[in-house]
Amino acid sequence: MKTLGVGSENQSAHRPETRLDQEAELIGKVALYAFLLNLGLAAMKGVLAFWSDSLAVTAGAIDSATDSAASLVLYGGLKLSTRKTPSFPEGLYKIENVLSVFVALSIFFAGFEIALKLFKQSVSSPRISLDIVVLLLVSVAATFLFGRYAILTGRKTESPTLIAEGRHRQVDVLSSSVVLLSVLPEYFGYHVSLFGLPIDSIAACAVLIFIAFAGWELLSNGMRVLLDASLDFETLDEARSILKNHPMVVNIRSLSGRNAGRFRFLEASVILRTGDLKKAHRISEDLEQSIREKIPHVERIMIHYEPQSHSHIRLAVPLSDPAGVISRHFGESPFFAILTFRPADRSIVQQDIIENPHKEIETAKGIRVAEWLVEQKIDQIFMTEDLSHKGPTYVFSNAGVNVQRTDAVHLEEILENLKTW
């Protein structure tokens, strides 16, 4: 089996480095903005907690301080994720997924903190002023807008860390809203309860449910990548279609892939309709380029290939009619016979008469028909017309299809000749 590893030597020639560098820079900026935002919110809520003597506001300040530490670690990790060292020649891409797990754990910690603080009865009533209400409202709005920005940027760059950061901000919007709702009744002089429970405790329950859901999703997704789980079905199916639709690919023996950070790694084993090593190398490069063009963030593709075993050969013959009269004009042939021939016992195991879908077009008819036959995975074509140095011959040559001249008048003559191969 011949093997081609399309990796470090060919990456710079195919991968759009400029775009990926821009994405990495953008991700780093968003992570830095997250740290600065959380640090500012922690400082502001800390001052508000001191002024108000509110446990809810104190919990919010602690939550933002925790987020600041998480964002700082996130920013440092992103700076390291694309570096390659002798100890880590494949890169440190999985640091992003480690950080996603870290953010998930910090979400769980925030949930525990909210439960601990908001369900605890305050000894004294908080002192709530209009300034505190306005600043808490500003913190909710800022957190919401930044969360949306981080998620949209994360989806655009396919960064699991930024998506995790954006979802964490969504949790913070709810927790900040709980803090805001808990101080509003006090500001207006009301003590609100429902079924004997303070309204802020009921709202905290909803926050905790969201925290548990968001945290588990991030934790499970991050652990899947760290444990080298397979790529999602949609991505693998798209890669399989790209390989399968190439005219020189006879069969796909295996296809697998994994994520590391926002990057994808694919490995495929295919059977090609050629035994020529140079041609097989060019085919594998074409397959790599097609996959990179249609599937974003593919860091490395490993393609293992081997030549087709000729236990069966697919033959094509142009026909003037379904009865089997051979056509003298290749491109204008109304029908084609597609035969599956087994050399071991010189027998035809399958025979189909197919209508030519390009017989009515006016330009490049022969080339279109040749490309269509290549898509039918034929190995050899019989024809009476001499197409040397013409378009169809070049199409067949590039696809590894053998062109066989024949003087036969009827398909039965070719079938009889096949018995003597």
Q: Are residues 220 and 242 in the same domain?
A: no
Q: Are residues 216 and 257 in the same domain?
A: no
Model confidence at 258, pLDDT cuts 50, 70, 90, reads confident
d(CA 212, CA 200): 18
What the block records as the tokens of 357 is 């879908």
Write down the pLDDT at residue 320.
93
d(CA 356, CA 20): 45
Q: 408: domain CATH number?
A: 3.30.420.130
- Residue at 346 is within a domain: yes
| Residues forming a β-bridge with 355 | 335
> In the predicted model, what is the mean pLDDT of the chain?
78
Look at residue 2 and give its three-state secondary structure: strand
Q: Are residues 243 and 195 in the same domain?
A: no
Model confidence at 306, pLDDT cuts 50, 70, 90, reads confident
pLDDT 10s digits, 214-242? 678 767 777 766 666 667 888 899 999 99
pLDDT 10s digits, 314-363? 899 999 999 999 999 898 999 999 999 988 888 898 999 999 999 888 88
- Residue at 321 is within a domain: yes
Mean pLDDT of 65-79: 68
Please state the domain count of the chain.
3
Write down the pLDDT at residue 410.
93
Percent of the chain with pLDDT over 90: 14
d(CA 142, CA 133): 14
Model confidence at 16, pLDDT cuts 50, 70, 90, reads very low
| DSSP conformation letters of 241-288 | HHHHTSTTEEEEEEEEEEEETTEEEEEEEEEES---HHHHHHHHHHHH
Q: Are residues 381 and 395 in the same domain?
A: yes
Q: Are residues 266 and 378 in the same domain?
A: no
Mean pLDDT of 111-118: 68
Q: Are residues 299 and 318 in the same domain?
A: no
Task: Answer with the one of 176, 200, 226 that is the final residue of a domain.
Answer: 226
pLDDT 10s digits, 156-197? 777 766 777 787 777 778 777 777 877 677 677 766 666 666
- Residue at 3 is within a domain: no
d(CA 360, CA 358): 6
Percent of the chain with pLDDT over 70: 72
Q: Are residues 114 and 187 in the same domain?
A: yes
Task: Answer with the one of 193, 226, 259 that is the final residue of a domain.
Answer: 226
Question: Is it the case that residue 96 has pLDDT exceeding 70?
Answer: no
pTM exceeding 0.75: no
d(CA 72, CA 41): 14
Residues 6+ apart with CB under 8 A from 214: 107, 167, 168, 170, 171
Which range has the top average pLDDT, 18-27, 180-189, 298-307, 336-345?
336-345
